[in-house]
Each structure stands twice: as structure tokens, then as C-alpha cells.
Amino acid sequence: MLHSLLSELPRFFGPYNLLFLAQAIGVTIALTIVGCGIGYNFGFALALLRVQRIIDIPPLRWSAIGFVELVRRLPFLVLLFLVMFGFQAGGYTLTGMAVACITIILRAAAIASETVRAGLESVHPNQWDAAATMNLSRLDQLRHVVLPQAWRVILPPAMIQFIQLLKATSIASQISVIELTYAGKIMNQKGFSATLSYGTVLILYYVLCLAVERVVRRMEKRLVLPQHH
């Protein structure tokens, strides 16, 4: 078995296959960055809807809570199919890529909203009051007083969630988006061993996540203010 696996290696890592895998990695990265880039912004807005000191409109607050609780409590796979069939029912046939992007955006928004809310709640209410006493507007209270202190609570989990979402993009393979996991499936169907195909994909994900982790650590150091005592 090991022998036949080794004999497949040169063919498996031929130039065309390498290019194919590289493209697939590109799709995985693109899905993650687009999904998180847009989703995190929505999540931030959703979190603000739930902070009564900034926006105090109960129906908006309740819908934000409802959305977040719904999306957090659905498996990614089910959410993916709900988005796909939902748009189909509405008369829009989207590409797999679009469905995957929308699903990741929804997911990222729901998760980020919880993280941002926890971060904002970690800042003592006196800070808001003090800023209000200084006659800062609500938005300025948030921007200049509360957020700078909240970042250090928000960023570490947000970075971990970024890697979680990167891993979740593998589920987009189920609607034929040619990202890294689907590429593994195609290699397997081309006749290469499943152990080799999926094993390579697994290692590539590991390398990718480690690389992201390293970049993220560096950004974290730059973004988070030192803690004052």
C-alpha cells in the first residue's frame, strides 16, 4: 500500500496538479477574506444595534438578537443549503461561489456581533458616563473612549474566529465550489489515492492556518493598546 502511494507521488505533484491546488488555495483564501471582511463589518453594526447607549430602538435590537441567535445555532452546512434554496425559491439562481460567500458573511456577522458586544460590555459603564460628561456625542464616546479600550477584548477572539471561518469554508465544497477540499475530492476522482489527496489537503490547511495565525499575531501586537493599570 505504502509502495503504491509513493509511486503516485511524482504524478500527484506534477506541475498541473500543483497549479490546480494553488488555485484552490486562492479560492479558499478569497472566500475567507471576502466573507470575513464584509461579515465583520455587518457584525459590528449588529452589535451597535444592541448597545442601548448608542441606538435605542427596541424593534431593531430584537431583530438583531433574533438574527444572531438564529445564525449561531444553525450548522454551517444547513445554513449553506438554506441560503441556496432560499435564493432559488425567490427566483435567483446564484453560483455556488455566491452562495458560499453569502453564507460566510452571515456566519461571520453573527459571530463577530457577539464578540464585539462582549468587548463593548467589558468596558466599565463609568467610561461612557465620563465621556458623556465631557460633552462628547454618542458616536464620539464610542470612537474615542470605549472602542480603544474594547479592542483588546475584541481582537483575540475575532482572530481565532477568522481561522474557524477559514476552516468552515471547506464545507462550501458541498455545493461544488472548487476550493481546497473540493480540489482534494477532484484529485481523488482523478484516480489518486484518497489518503494522498485528502492528506495533502489536510496538511495544506494546516500550513495555511499557521501562516494566518502568524500574520494575525503580528497585527494584534500593533493594534492592541498596552494595558494601563
Partner 1 sequence: MAYSFHFNQVWPFLPYLLGGAWVTVELAACAFGGGALFGLLVAIGIESAPGWLRGPLAFYRSFFTNTPQLVKILLIFFGLGELGWFVPPFWAAVFGLLLAESAYLAEIFRAGFASVNRAELDAAETIGLTRMQTLRHVTLPHLLQTVFPPLANQFIVSILYTSLGAIIGVEELTGRAFNVDSQTFRSLEIFIIVGVLYVALTLVSTAVLYGFGRFVLGVRARIF
User: Is residue 96 a contact residue for partner 1 (CB under 8 A)?
Assistant: no
- Figure out which of the listed residues 77, 94, 132, 186 binds partner 1, where binding follows CB under 8 A: 77
User: Is residue 186 a contact residue for partner 1 (CB under 8 A)?
Assistant: no
Report yes or no: 199 and 44 within 8 Å, Cβ to Cβ. no
Q: How is residue 137 written as a grid cell? A: 456625542
Residues in the chain: 229
Q: Binders of partner 1 among 106-145, rule CB under 8 A?
A: none
- Figure out which of the listed residues 40, 68, 184, 187 binds partner 1, where binding follows CB under 8 A: 184
CB-nearer residue toward partner 1: 138 or 167: 167
User: Is residue 43 a contact residue for partner 1 (CB under 8 A)?
Assistant: no
CA distance 72 to 54: 24
Q: Exposure pattern of 115-139 as b/e (b: 16+ CB <10 Å)? A: bbbebbeebeeeebeebeeeebeee
Residue with C-alpha cell 460566510?
A: 104
User: Is residue 1 a contact residue for partner 1 (CB under 8 A)?
Assistant: yes
Residue with C-alpha cell 495533502?
A: 200
Which residues touch 30 (CB under 8 Å, ≥6 apart)? none
Q: Of the ranges 16-24, 51-59, 133-141, 198-206, which one interacts with partner 1 (CB under 8 A)?
A: 198-206
- Figure out which of the listed residues 42, 53, 174, 216 binds partner 1, where binding follows CB under 8 A: 174
CA dihedral 28, 162, 44, 94 (to 10 degrees): 20
CB-nearer residue toward partner 1: 30 or 163: 163
- Figure out which of the listed residues 18, 210, 215, 219 binds partner 1, where binding follows CB under 8 A: 210
What residues line the site for partner 1 (CB under 8 A)? 1, 69-70, 72-79, 81-82, 85-86, 88-91, 163, 167-168, 170-171, 173-174, 181, 184-185, 188, 193-195, 198-199, 201-202, 205-206, 209-210, 213
